[in-house]
Amino acid sequence: MSVISALQQDGIDPEAPFAIAFATAGSDEAIVLGSAPDADRATLVFHDERERLAADHVTGHLLLIYHDEVPRMLLRELLG
């Protein structure tokens, strides 16, 4: 799954190692919703985005991605 770069959005730091993204079911691309400089903040952003998307009754996958030499998906949660 590739992640669409949305670096111009507020709250997204292109240098941050953690990204929180959303992908609709069956999609090969994800939209970056936020970023974080460390695992603790990434966890908080992930939970905030999950609550926001759930309140809007959004369906798809919420992703927590760690950008290292090779990006790794650390968490994938089904919404809806």
Q: Give me the phi and psi of 46, to 5 degrees please.
A: -60, -50
Nearest to 80 by CA among 34, 24, 27, 32: 24
The pTM score is 0.83
| Structural domain range at position 68 | 2-79
More confident residue, 9 or 42: 42
Nearest to 8 by CA among 43, 32, 42: 32
pLDDT at residue 55 greater than cutoff 60: yes
Region 71-80 average pLDDT: 94
Domain count within the chain: 1
